[in-house]
Amino acid sequence: MATKIVMNDVSIYYGGFKAVDAVSMDIQSRTVTAFIGPSGCGKSTVLRSLNRMHEVVRGGRIEGEIRLDGVDLYAPAVDPVAVRRTVGMVFQRPNPFPTMSILDNVVAGLRLNGVKDKAILTSRAETSLRAANLWEEVKDRLDKPGAGLSGGQQQRLCIARAIAVEPQVLLMDEPCSALDPISTLAIEDLIAELKREYTIVIVTHNMQQAARVSDRTAFFNLKATGQPGQLVEYGSTHSIFNTPAQRATEDYISGRFG
């Protein structure tokens, strides 16, 4: 299976504070990779570094190298906006644009990228809503506000918005933490379908979710409070959950800490 993303000795900073230390890992194309670990260990920070969202934070910077299909994402000539088009993101809480209709929410990114043709926008909205398993629920109210949908529907709307610009990678930062169990299952089913087309990286605190949806799992941890987060172990989800190589991984998965 082809490698999509390569992280080589990546350390991530907030100003003078090193939040994550020396992460090296390969993420394979059209797989789901889960980042797990206790709060504050750097999972979301690593995730945001993959589409240059981390540098939006004041003082945010990285050392090391992150490559997507061989291209250094942090090279001086690389446009961060283009990176974020290629590497889409879905956040912890659904965040549809409250004043926009369902349809306008989906195509907002396309309009930002200069697409004006109404036929193209309408077609892409339907394609994206179908891909997000939301079309049948909203096709008769596309002109209604996106904020009027249920929480689970709003999150699927945000996924539709993310994939409308046709990214190659989809980052998900605890996409189900604000959802009920039924909506969570719908998102998990959707992830399984989306990985046919996209490389997906998900941060989750839910061990059962990581075990259910991911092909590979990375366990991050802190040596001590105030110390940078570290990648402790990375491998197939089956091996991480059943035969972890590190005691800390086993202790976390079994609930002994975290």
126 contacts 103 by C-beta, under 8 angstroms: no
Residue 234 domain-assigned (yes or no)? yes
Residue 212, token pair as written in the block: 């259910």
Residue 95 domain-assigned (yes or no)? yes
Nearest one of 77, 80, 88, 70 to 26, comparing CA atoms: 70
Helices 151-164, 102-112: inter-axial angle, 10-degree rounding = 30
Domain total of the chain: 1
Residues 118-149 pLDDT 10s: 999 999 999 999 999 999 999 999 999 999 99
Q: Given a cut of 90, is residue 1 above it in pLDDT?
A: no
What is the reported pLDDT for 238? Answer: 97
Higher pLDDT, 183 or 87: 87
Q: What predicted TM-score, i.e. pTM, was given to this entire model? A: 0.93
Q: pLDDT band at 178, cuts 50/70/90?
A: confident
Residues 84-111 as b or e (16 or more Cβ within 10 Å = b) = bbbbbbbbeebbbeeebbbbbbbbbbbe
Residues 70-120 pLDDT 10s: 999 999 999 999 999 999 999 988 889 989 999 999 999 999 888 899 999
Residue 258 domain-assigned (yes or no)? no
User: Which residue range(s) make up the domain with 169?
Assistant: 3-253
Average pLDDT rounded to a whole number, residues 181-191: 91
The owner of tokens 């009920």 is 180
What is the reported pLDDT for 225? Answer: 78
What is the reported pLDDT for 107? Answer: 95
Q: Given a cut of 70, is residue 257 above it in pLDDT?
A: no
Residue 240 domain-assigned (yes or no)? yes
Query: Could you tell me the CATH number of the domain that includes residue 239?
Result: 3.40.50.300
